[in-house]
């Protein structure tokens, strides 16, 4: 169907008017949004907490244990924790009289439940513990593996920036296939089977 010339002109005018209205509406809406954003201060989103922390235990070094701890924040309030260490102590260590040279290695893996949603504050931890050691025993070398579990309570405090100190304590229950009753007192203190208290101390840094 052919439109009359007058109808075509009318439709053109309607299209031009509609386009002009749309342009004006979009321009006004853009100015309103800009003014609204200018009036409202930018929203400060809290920084994400550190996901990792690493550190060393200076107290363990005094008894010949050298290693490090690591934690990973798996979810709010819950961290996975791991520790590996190598051991070497002469017959008379700084803090413990071993009676014989001791060498070995060990570690543990577990979880910590924090009162806060990050890696700082009070925590309760459970971990599995294992190690293998070689100690002197009446002039011979004696293999002394052990395994068990530990429960701990403690807290991690910020010292400044991301530097922290963790202090805690707990109980561990270790088992070994063979353990001479008359082994050197220092070895028994560090590696002894059965239930024994333990002290935790770590100095390190958190990592994002």
Count other C-beta atoms under 10 Å from residue 120's C-beta. Answer: 20
114 pLDDT band, cuts 50/70/90, is very high
Q: Where are the domains of the chain?
A: 1-41, 52-207
Distance separating alpha carbons of residues 62 and 126, to the nearest angstrom? 25
Which tokens sit at 140? Answer: 């011979």
Query: How would residue 2 be classed by pLDDT, with cut points 50, 70 and 90?
Result: very low
Average pLDDT for 34-56: 71
- Give the best-scoring range by mean pLDDT among 14-18, 82-86, 156-160: 82-86
What end-to-end distance do the CA atoms of the chain give, in Å? 71
CATH class, 52-207 region: mainly beta
What's 143's DSSP letter? E
What pairs with residue 114 in β-bridges?
Answer: 123
What does the pLDDT look like over 150-208, one tens digit per residue? Answer: 999 999 999 988 999 999 999 999 998 777 778 887 887 778 788 999 999 999 999 98
d(CA 175, CA 173): 7
Helix (H, G, I), strand (E, B) or coil at 73: strand
pLDDT at 161: 86
Cβ–Cβ < 8 Å for 129, 113: no
């Amino acid at each position: 169907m052919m439109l009359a010339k007058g109808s075509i002109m009318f439709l053109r005018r309607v299209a031009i008017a509609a386009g002009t209205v749309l342009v004006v509406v979009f321009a006004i809406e853009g100015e309103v949004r800009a003014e609204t954003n200018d009036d409202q201060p930018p929203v400060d989103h809290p920084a994400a907490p550190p996901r990792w922390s690493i550190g060393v235990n200076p107290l363990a070094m005094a008894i010949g244990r050298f290693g490090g701890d690591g934690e990973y924040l798996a979810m709010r309030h819950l961290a996975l924790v791991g520790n590996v260490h190598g051991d070497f102590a002469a017959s008379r260590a700084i803090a413990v009289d071993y009676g014989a040279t001791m060498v070995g290695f060990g570690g543990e893996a577990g979880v910590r439940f924090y009162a806060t949603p990050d890696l700082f504050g009070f925590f309760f931890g459970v971990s599995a513990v294992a190690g293998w050691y070689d100690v002197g025993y009446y002039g011979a070398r004696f293999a002394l593996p052990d395994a068990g579990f530990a429960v701990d309570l403690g807290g991690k405090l910020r010292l400044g920036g991301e530097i922290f100190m963790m202090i805690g304590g707990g109980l561990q229950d270790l088992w070994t296939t063979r353990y001479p009753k008359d082994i050197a007192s220092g070895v028994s203190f560090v590696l002894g089977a059965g239930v024994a208290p333990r002290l935790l101390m770590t100095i390190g840094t958190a990592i994002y």
